[in-house]
Structure 1
């Protein structure tokens, strides 16, 4: 597996963002962050604090034909910090927790900036953790899943896709994810797997539906 390391300047403190884990990572921002991308992964990791010099890209990234998409999760709770991210002159997409207090306002602001918006839908993890309201569980029926996703779409206007917040118990369950994909197909939303577990069934669940990954 090849990794390409790309320096990115962010603002105001220290950026600690890890996409694709179920750990609780404190928000903070600033300085030199390092993005690591792989052709087999949609994850990005920004773990370079201020005062450190990012190393240069290895090889010619453009010649490899890979594309790097930056999606920042967990929007909707920290408007001061999130507004700093939205000030960045970069094509960053944001994933918004649907029941967060600033979900709608952040979605509208990001949309007005021309940014791509995802619903960061809470899904049940294998470990015991505090859960968001309307967290999807494997035992839920299609009607309940549809109700939750429909409300999430109302709460996060202009969303064109969805990714999972936590979710190892849900995304590793094929029957459960088939229900999710059936509903997403109705609303024409794509799904970005946060890969919080190695045996994710998302790709298999999408087969036979019109859902895009």
Structure 2
């Protein structure tokens, strides 16, 4: 039976799963027994002892509280604010500490020109032919200020008031509101105003007279008078160049008056140049009298320039009640000397006060006139 013997031999050579499982179990049990015997006789390995450094033994300093790191609060300001219109002695403060004001401090005085002396009788002369008279319709032969003068009805013996509004043309909205008020008024536009031909044309259409408001040097360097200002340090050529620029800004004005100018209008050399240019163009000069030391009226008369002077600033206090008080002063001056020249500005309180006053003042026996009407009386 050789076949059977071969089969028996083959089966004997194959792996026996049961036997293999027994081997595995015995092996695992032996390893486990050895591990537990080691733990029993030797014990677990102790962890290495931690060596504490000097750093760890010293406690960390606690952080500084947040409120101690804050800077101390600033001290309270106990001094009053700087005035908007500083005087020369206050100019020690450096420019970065404050902004320049756009307007010079307005005088609070009421100015009335002294009574002129009685005219001296002229020496008898040989009669000559009278000078030719200018016909009423021949306006081309008239000086510029008369050509552009606003015609008004005869005022008779009634006291007359000319209201001049300076600083026109910068704040277009308020300038327009001023020109929409009754009148007639004389509106003086700053040479550096916006779109002056359009603004001035509209004002003239609404029945107002026009003037040119020329920036002149104030006494305080803390005040900004604007571009192309006339300065005492400039020579005659530069003054004429700046004046020529201003004269070309729009048409139809009767003359000029000074914007600020408390320093410049006291300077004879500079004002002589101004009067020469005003005379050459046939214009008039209104002295706003921003200083009592002005030489403007005297030099104007010497140069043959028609001149008038401001009597009252109506809005040196920008409050309706204060402006109404100044308007009452204007009426009082007009009653005393027969005329008054009032100057105001396109400010909110001025507009509110002027509206009702313009509507009522003629009912009290006064006549509103353009400035040229008073200039004709005085010159």
TM-score by length of 2: 0.40
Match runs of 1:39-50 below 5 Å: 39-40=112-113
Q: How many residues align?
A: 162
Structure showing greater radius of gyration is 2
Match runs of 1:1-213 below 5 Å: 22-23=104-105, 39-40=112-113, 66-128=159-221, 129-213=223-307
State how far apart, in whole Å, the 1-side matches of 2:241 and 2:208 are: 26
Q: 1:117 to 1:173 in 2, by over 3 A?
A: same
Q: Secondary structure at the match of 1:203?
A: helix
Conserved in 2, the CA contact under 8 Å of 1:185 and 1:211?
A: yes
Structure 1 gap segments, 5+ residues each: 1-20, 25-35, 42-61
1:166-203 superposed Cα distances (whole Å, 9 cap, x missing partner)? 00111011221111101111111111000000111012
TM-score by length of 1: 0.68
Partner of 2:45: none
Conserved in 1, the CA contact under 8 Å of 2:167 and 2:213?
A: yes
Conserved in 1, the CA contact under 8 Å of 2:225 and 2:259?
A: no
Conserved in 1, the CA contact under 8 Å of 2:180 and 2:206?
A: no
Q: After TM superposition, which residue ranges in structure 1, 4 or more long, deviate above 3 angstroms? A: 36-41, 62-66
Q: Secondary structure at the match of 2:160?
A: coil
Q: 1:68 to 1:166 in 2, by over 3 A?
A: same
Higher relative contact order (CA 8 A, sep 6+): 2
Structure 2 gap segments, 5+ residues each: 1-102, 115-154, 308-379
Q: Which has the higher strand share?
A: 1
Q: Give the drift of 1:22.
A: 2.0
Q: 1:112 to 1:63 in 2, by over 3 A?
A: closer
